[in-house]
C-alpha cells in the first residue's frame, strides 16, 4: 500500500494535513488520503484560448464558452465530448471522455457570471476561479507553467479546487460525477467510499467497466499503458501530458473504450465525500496521477480526500450528467 508520505514525495507536495489512513481494503487497491486547507488571493483575469478536446471515438462535445442548460442527450455541451454509459443496475448517464482541458476551462473562466464562493454552501472560502491564484501552505505552488492554455490547451486543467470544478460543470450544463442517478454521494468513512461499487459511483463504474476490472484496461497492472510515474522511457514521468496521449488507457470494449485517462494522468475530483478535519467534509479525488508510482496508486479503487478548497498541480476533473 502506498503511504501518504510516499504519495507526497512522488507528487512533490510541500505540505499536507492527513485525515485518515488504512484506506484500502485489499492489496490490489492504492492511493492516499489527505486533507488540506488553502488560503488564496485575488483573480488575475482570464487568459488563453478556448477549445474542445475529447476522446477520438466519441461524439463532438459542442461549442465551449456559453452558459447552457441540460441537453437531452450526451452531445451539444461545452467541454470534452461525452460518452453514454450504463451502470450494472441499468441506469444510464453521460461522462466526459477525457479530463477537462486548459482550453475548456479558459472558456469558462472568460465567460462565467458566477461569483466565486457562491457555487456551493461549502465553498464560501473559495477566493477565485483563477488557476494562478497563489495558495499556501498546501500543495506545490501553481504558476504559469501549470496554467498556460495558449501554449498547452489540451493538457488537463490543474491547480483548481473542488469548488472550481463544481462551478465549471454547472456552467457547462453538467455536474461533477457522483452517485449513480445523479446525486452527491456522502459516506461515513473514507473506507466506505473506497468500497463503493459500480452501481453506486459513476466515476468508478466508468473506470472499472461496470465493476469488472481493476484498471480501465484490465486486471493486470501495465506500467506504461497510462500516464503514471513509470510510463515514460526510463520511468519517472512527472509532468502533465495532453489528454488522450496514452491512447490505450481506456476500457477494452465500447462504450468504455471511449473514456480515456481514468488511471494516471491527473487525479479527478468527484461529488463524493466523507468526514475529514473537524467541521470539514473531504471531497474525493480519484484515479492516481502522473506523479504516482506503482500498481496500487493507479487502480480504479484508488482515491484521496481533501477539503473543497484544496488544490495542487496534479489534480483536475471531468464532468457527468443525467441522461434525460
How confident is the model over 42-79, as pLDDT tens digits?
A: 333 333 333 333 333 333 333 333 444 556 789 999 99
For residue 231, give its domain range. Answer: 1-324
β-pair type (267-275, 315-317) = parallel
Using pLDDT thresholds of 50, 70 and 90, give the confidence band for residue 34.
very low
β-pair type (185-186, 267-275) = parallel
> Which CATH number do you get for residue 69?
3.90.1580
- Tell me what pLDDT residue 233 has: 59
Read off the pLDDT of each residue in 244-249 and give the average, rounded to a whole number: 94
What's the CA gap between 309 and 38, in Å, rounded?
Answer: 6
Whole-model pTM: value is 0.79
Q: Per the structure, how many domains does the chain have?
A: 1
Helices (H) and strands (E) in the chain, counts: 5, 11
Written as nine digits, the cell of 116 is: 466565486
What's the CA gap between 143 and 180, in Å, rounded?
Answer: 35
Amino acid at each position: 500500500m502506498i503511504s501518504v508520505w510516499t504519495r507526497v514525495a512522488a507528487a512533490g507536495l510541500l505540505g499536507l494535513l492527513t485525515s485518515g489512513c488504512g484506506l484500502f481494503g485489499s492489496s490490489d487497491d492504492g492511493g492516499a488520503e489527505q486533507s488540506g486547507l488553502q488560503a488564496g488571493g485575488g483573480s488575475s483575469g482570464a487568459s488563453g484560448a478556448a477549445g474542445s478536446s475529447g476522446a477520438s471515438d466519441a461524439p463532438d462535445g459542442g461549442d465551449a464558452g456559453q452558459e447552457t442548460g441540460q441537453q437531452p442527450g450526451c452531445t451539444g455541451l461545452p467541454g470534452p465530448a461525452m460518452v453514454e454509459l450504463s451502470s450494472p443496475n441499468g441506469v444510464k448517464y453521460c461522462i466526459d471522455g477525457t479530463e477537462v482541458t486548459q482550453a475548456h476551462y479558459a472558456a469558462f473562466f472568460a465567460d462565467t457570471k458566477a461569483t466565486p464562493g457562491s457555487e456551493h454552501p461549502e465553498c464560501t472560502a473559495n477566493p477565485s476561479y483563477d488557476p494562478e491564484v497563489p495558495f499556501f501552505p498546501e500543495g506545490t505552488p501553481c504558476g504559469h507553467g501549470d496554467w498556460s492554455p495558449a501554449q498547452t490547451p489540451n493538457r488537463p486543467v490543474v491547480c483548481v479546487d473542488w469548488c472550481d470544478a463544481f462551478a465549471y460543470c454547472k456552467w457547462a450544463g453538467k455536474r461533477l460525477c457522483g452517485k449513480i442517478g445523479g446525486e452527491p454521494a456522502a459516506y461515513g468513512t473514507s473506507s466506505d467510499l473506497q468500497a463503493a461499487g459500480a452501481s453506486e459511483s459513476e466515476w468508478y463504474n466508468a473506470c472499472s467497466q461496470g465493476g469488472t476490472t481493476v484498471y480501465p484496461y484490465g486486471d493486470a497492472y501495465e506500467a506504461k499503458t497510462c500516464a503514471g510515474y513509470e510510463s515514460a522511457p526510463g520511468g519517472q514521468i512527472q509532468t502533465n501530458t495532453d489528454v488522450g496521449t496514452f491512447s490505450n488507457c481506456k476500457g477494452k470494449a465500447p462504450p468504455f473504450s471511449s473514456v480515456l485517462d481514468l488511471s494516471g494522468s491527473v487525479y479527478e475530483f468527484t461529488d463524493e465525500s466523507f468526514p475529514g478535519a473537524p467541521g470539514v467534509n473531504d471531497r474525493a479525488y480519484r484515479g492516481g496521477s502522473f506523479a504516482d508510482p506503482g500498481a496500487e496508486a493507479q487502480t480504479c479503487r484508488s482515491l484521496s480526500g481533501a477539503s473543497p478548497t484544496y488544490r495542487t498541480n496534479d489534480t483536475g476533473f471531468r464532468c457527468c450528467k443525467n441522461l434525460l
